[in-house]
Structure 1
Amino acid sequence: MPIWKRNLIVCWFGMFVSSVGMSQIAPVLPLYIKHLGVHNTALITQFSGLAFGATFILSAVFSPIWGRAADKYGRKLMLLRASLGMGIVIGCMGFVQNVYELIGLRVLQGVITGYSSACTALIATQTDKEHAGFALGTLSTASTAGSLIGPMIGGFLEESFGLQNVFFITGALLMISFITTALFVKESFTRKDKKVLPMKEIWNQVPEKSLTITSFVTFFVLTLALYTIEPIMTVYITQLTENSSHISLLSGMAFSASGLASIIAAPRLGKWSDRFGVQKVILFALIFAGLLFIPQAFVKNPWQLMMLRFLLGLVSAGLIPSVNTLLKKITPDYLTGTVFGFTMSAGYLGVFGGSVLGGQMAAYYGMRSVFFITSALLLINAVWVYFKIYKKMNLKENAM
């Protein structure tokens, strides 16, 4: 088996488990906080929001820092650091005695993150040009699927094994990821510059600043769009269902439909980006994703919503790998860790922003407004991509 394929398999597993570890706590967090002795409903809600959001905010702050460390010391070392650290921290969450210890560990989890950005940088730099789109497309399914399916996995583990075992099982899986990374991931790494450069000087070395910024924003908008529905999903499903005793299950299925579709479609769309150009996949994926949000506001039952969410996942699956492939093309190898670190920061901010924005939009403007406003954001982003990426990349290709 080629080295790039073996690296891809190991990184996919680790990245999936890492993403699950970030998101699986969502459905069990209120129950666990109550288990820790907090019984006031308002306090449970406040502590849940703080514990869930703290990890993503700090991940957004520290991802570029760990990305720079990956460029300096090697991507494999950062994979080992992140998987070992997260495995220990998440496992320790099962032993906490009060909610403050839990929040402290969630904060620490956000600080030591960086597995996804190191994975992306490793695959981007160690995979040959002909297979880069496929490899990055396949890898992107791990993060997307892990984040979207994570809440359903967390709920299943809680019902099957109990609250504390959710953390023990997830921590054990991350330790397995640490071991497989140590044994099977191979990296040919040569450090280019031993001097630690300030961020301004690093930014000056980025050759395509306009394309890079547009890619960051597109990554942020896509992630935000996928998560705006999270805070309203259960309520929306309740409105679409009469006398159902399976609201939680239906909500989990509807939310996870996009993740399942991404697993199916991302490798294929990654190949298409290699064949037809990343700019075309990004533009058309944004347009279709924006249009698919509109009919979700008019569904009559949960199954219609699930189908549209599945179609949305098929379309949006092309965005993340295409953005990553574009960044690989325009970024020097010695800066990939830093650049992909900022990309992951944009994604983490999108998760947090989408969760907050969706709830606020629903509260002030009604449930359907979430779909309309999200659609508008994606279509506006598509117009920007058309002028900043699509036209520029086409001119370059025609000039060659």
Structure 2
Amino acid sequence: MPTWKRNLIVCWFGMFVSGVGMSMLAPVLPLYIRHIGIDGEGAIAQYSGVAFGVTFIISAVFSPIWGIAADKFGRKPMLLRASLGMAIVIGCMGFATNVYVLIGLRLLQGVITGYATACTTLIATQTDKEHTGYALGLLSTASIAGSLLGPSIGGFIEEGFGLRNVFFITGGLLLIAFVATAAFVKESFVRENKKTINFKEVWRRLPEKNLTLTMFATFFVLTVALYSVEPVLTVYITGLTRHSDHIALIAGLTFSASGLANIIAAPRLGKLSDKIGVHKIMLVSLIAAGLLFIPQAFVSNPWQLMGLRFALGLTAAGLTPSVNVLIKKITPASLTGRVFGFAMSAGYLGVFAGSILGGQVAAWFGVRYVFLITGTLLLANAAWVYYRVYKKLNRPGQLAAS
């Protein structure tokens, strides 16, 4: 088996588990916080919001730092650091005796993150040009599917094995990822610049500054869109199934629909982007995703919503890989880790902003408006990408042909 394929398999598993570890607390946190001594719905909701959001805010700060370390010391050491660190921290959450210890561990989880950044950089730099789109497309399914399926997986483990075992089992899977990374991932790393350069110097060396900023902004909007619905989806489904005793199960299936579709479509769209140009896949996917959000506001039963969420997953599969492939194309190899680190920061901020946006829009205007506003946001982003990316790269001799 080629080295790039072996690396891809190991990184896919590690990123999937990492994504699960970052998001699986969504349905579990309120129950666990009550379990360790907090009473009252208001207090539980308040502490749950802090415990869930603090990881992503801190991750946004530290992701570029670990990107710099990846360029300096290699990507495999960062994979080992992040997987082992998260295995220990998430496992320790199962021993938390009060909510402050739990929040502290969630904060520490954000500090030691960086597995996704190192994985993306490793695959982007160690895969030959002909397979880059396919590899990054497949890799993106791991993070997205892990994040989208995490709440369902957390709920399933809690129901079958108990609250504390959610953390122990997730930590154990990350430990397996650490061992697999140590044993099977191979990296040909040559440090190109022994002197650590500051942000101003990194910015000066970027050949496509405006295009890089456009990709950061696009990735931020994508994650806002993907996560704006997450905090209100169960509430929406409850309104659609007033007399059902299986709301949690239906909500889990609806969460999973887009993740499953993403796994199916992303490698295929990645291959297609290698053939016809990543800018074309990005633009069409943005338009299709924006349009598919709108009818979700008008469904009359959960099965219609589930079908639309599956279709959305098929189109969203062309978004994150397209951003990653284009960033890789326009970034010098010696700066890849740093730039992917900033991209991941934009994504983490998007997760936090999306969750806040969805909750606030639902509170002020109603849940259905979350889908309408999110769809409008994606269509506006598509227009921006058309003028800032598509028109530029569609010219003969531009990056699309490289």
TM-score, normalization by structure 2: 0.98
Structure 1 pair 396–345 and aligned structure 2 pair: CA distance change class (3 A): farther
Q: Residues of 1 paired with 2:2 and 2:262: CA distance? A: 25
Residue in structure 1 matched with residue 227 of structure 2 by the alignment: 227
Question: Structure 2: which amino acid aligns with 1:318?
Answer: G
Q: How far apart are the structure 2 equivalents of 1:285 and 1:237?
A: 26
**Counterparts of 1:328 and 1:343, CA distance in 2:** 11
Cα contact 2:29–2:48 (8 A) shared by 1: yes
Give 2:258's aligned residue.
Answer: 258
Once residues 83 and 368 of structure 1 are traced to their aligned partners in structure 2, the CA distance between those partners, rounded to angstroms, is 38
Q: Counterparts of 2:200 and 2:250 in 1: how far apart (Å)?
A: 48
Counterpart residue identity of residue 70, structure 1: A
Aligned position for 1:175: 175
**Secondary structure at the counterpart of residue 294 of structure 1:** helix
State the 1:371 CA deviation.
1.1
Offset at 1:345?
0.9
User: What's the CA shift for 1:210?
Assistant: 1.1
State how far apart, in whole Å, the 1-side matches of 2:36 and 2:27 are. 16
CA distance in 2, matches of 1:34, 1:254: 26
Change beyond 3 A, Cα 1:14–1:133: same
Distance in 2 (alpha carbons) for counterparts of 1:336 and 1:164: 38
Q: Which residue of 2 aligns with 1:15?
A: 15
Give the fraction of aligned pairs with identical amino acids, expressed as a percent.
Answer: 71
CA distance in 2, matches of 1:269, 1:397: 23
Change in CA separation of 1:396 and 1:326 when aligned onto 2, cut-off 3 Å: farther
- Residue-pair matches, total: 400
SS in 2 for 1:280: helix
Q: What's the secondary structure of 1:133's corresponding residue? A: helix
Give the match for residue 148 of structure 1: 148
Alignment of 1:67-106 (within 5 A): 67-106=67-106
Question: Is this contact kept in 1: 2:361–2:370, CA < 8 A?
Answer: yes
CA RMSD, Structure 1 to Structure 2 (Å): 1.0
Kindly state the Cα deviation for residue 342 of structure 1 after the two structures are TM-superposed. Answer: 1.0
Alignment of 1:66 with 2:66, yes or no, is yes
* Mean Cα deviation higher: 335-344 or 125-134: 335-344
Note if contact 2:134-2:271 (Cα within 8 Å) is conserved in structure 1: yes
224-233 or 282-291, which deviates more: 224-233
Structure 1 residues 377 and 227, CA gap change in structure 2 (3 angstroms): same
Residue 249 of structure 1: CA displacement? 1.2
In structure 2, what residue type is equivalent to 1:310?
Answer: F
Question: What is the deviation of 1:269?
Answer: 0.3
The aligned counterpart of 1:247 is 247
Between the aligned partners of 1:397 and 1:288, the Cα distance in structure 2 is 28
CA–CA separation in structure 2 for the residues paired with 1:245 and 1:40: 24
User: What SS does structure 2 have at the residue aligned with 1:95?
Assistant: coil
1:33 — aligned with what?
33
Specify the alignment match of 1:162 in structure 2: 162
How many angstroms apart in 2 are the aligned matches of 1:190 and 1:360? 47
Sort the Cα spacing of 1:398 and 1:80 in 2 relative to 1 into closer, same or farther, 3 A: closer
Give secondary structure in 2 for the equivalent of 1:395. Answer: coil
> 1:314 maps to what in 2?
314
Q: Deviations over 1:240-271 (max 9, x none)?
A: 11310011111121122111110000000000
Are 1:192 and 2:175 an aligned pair? no
Task: Specify the alignment match of 1:375 in structure 2.
Answer: 375
Structure 2 stretches lacking a partner, 5+ long: none
Q: CA deviation at 1:398?
A: 6.7
- Which sits farther off after the overlay, 224-233 or 258-267? 224-233
The offset of 1:396, in angstroms, is: 4.4
In 2, Cα distance between the equivalents of 1:285 and 1:114? Answer: 27
Q: Could you tell me how far apart the structure 1 residues matched to 2:368 and 2:173 are?
A: 38
Tell me the equivalent position of 1:361. Answer: 361
Describe the superposition over 1:94-148 as per-residue Cα deviations: whole angstroms up to 9, x where unpaired: 1111110000000000000000000000000000000000000000000000000
Question: Which stretch shows the higher mean deviation, 76-85 or 190-199?
Answer: 190-199
What secondary structure sits across from 2:94 in the alignment? helix
Which residue type is aligned with residue 168 of structure 1?
F
- Say whether the 8 Å CA contact 2:223–2:354 is kept in structure 1: yes
- Superposed displacement of residue 372, structure 1: 1.1
The separation in 1 between residues aligned to 2:357 and 2:196, in whole angstroms, is 37
**Residue 297 of structure 1: CA displacement?**
0.6
Residue in 1 aligned with 2:42? Answer: 42
For 2:81, give the aligned amino acid. Answer: R
CA contact (8 A) 2:392 2:398 kept: no
SS in 2 for 1:207: coil
Report the residue type matching 2:185 in the other structure: V
CA distance in 1, matches of 2:345, 2:255: 22
Match of 1:125 in 2: 125
The answer to whether the Cα contact below 8 Å between 2:79 and 2:118 also exists between their aligned partners in 1 is: yes
Kindly provide the amino acid, as one letter, of the partner of residue 205 in structure 2. Q
Moved more, 172-181 or 230-239: 230-239
Shift of 1:346: 1.2
Partner SS state of residue 250, structure 2? helix
Q: In 2, distance between residues paired with 1:396 and 1:124? A: 25
Shift >4 Å, 4+ stretches: none
Q: 1:217 maps to which residue? A: 217
Partner of 1:110: 110
Letter in 1 for 2:237: I
1:350 aligns with 2:337: no
| 2:389 corresponds to | 389
Q: Give 3-state SS (helix, strand or coil) of 2:232's partner.
A: helix
